[in-house]
Amino acid sequence: MTATVVSLVNQKGGVGKTTTAVSLAVALGRKGQRVLLVDLDPQANATSALGVDGKDVAGTYDAILDGMPMADCVVAVEAECISVVPSSAELSGAEVELVPVMARERRLTAALDQVRDSYDWILIDCPPSLGLLTINALTASDAVIIPVQCEYMALEGLSRLMETLDLVKRNLNPRLHVLGVILTMFDARTRLAQQVVDEVRGHFPQTFATIIPRSVRLSEAPSHGKSIFLYDQGGRSATAYDAVASELLERAGVAA
């Protein structure tokens, strides 16, 4: 069985996208799924959050721009039960370097096709933009998950994202669909947070039932090069992401 490829995407920064990509990947890995996390963000936050130094190894840049076999760019993170294709600052020039390349929107698709049979899930952490790297991710994906923070103007920019998804679906990838919306950074002390939850669920019925709480421990974990499951196992955030992973497997018809 080939992997289900899912992009985590939101062009609005600071919504918990990378935290969700890492935490969901590790949660799936801990449930016995074979998971590959592809860091497509030049900021390389997903890479460093797993304790990997992208400067020392081959990564997404080498696979997409130089045609290096994707299998040679995979780093196993055994403590987290997943593997990662690291990013580095080198990837920041990819948007420009891809412009003259033939079939530039499908470079990541071709790279991932080499390893799809080796995993159950391939999660892609996209950059906070709708440029060529994100278009590559959407073209390579079966589905997208959209993290949305429970704060003011949470839906800002989502209409543009949905337009981009529709364009990619019509012109490059007809199988692309929204798998779900994950609500992040929920602060139960504010009335606004609950209003945002209700508003998002009103617009997106496929929103996951589990809500990710705002958490200091969740913010601290990446600076220690650990997922929330190693940094604060049994905490509220780890429990929430574990529940989201269970929801995801249920939606995909997979027995955990």
> Tokens representing 132?
């060529």
Hey, which bits of the chain come out as E strands?
4-8, 35-39, 75-77, 82-85, 121-125, 143-149, 177-184
SS3 212: coil
pLDDT at 255: 63
β-bridge mates for residue 207, sequence order: 181
Q: Tell me the whole-structure pTM to 2 decimals.
A: 0.96
Which residue type is seen at 27? A
> Could you tell me which residues are beta bridge partners of residue 82?
77
Among the residues of 141-232, which ranges form H helices?
158-171, 191-203, 216-220, 228-231
pLDDT at residue 256 is higher than 80: no
- Give the residue from 46, 23, 9 showing the smallest Cα distance to 215: 23
| The predicted structure's pLDDT at residue 151 | 86
| pLDDT digits 0-9 by tens, 156-215 | 888 889 999 999 999 999 999 999 999 999 998 888 899 999 999 999 999 999 999 999
Ramachandran angles phi, psi of 39, nearest 5°: -90, 105
Asked if residue 251 lies in contact with residue 242, where contact means CB atoms within 8 angstroms, the answer is no
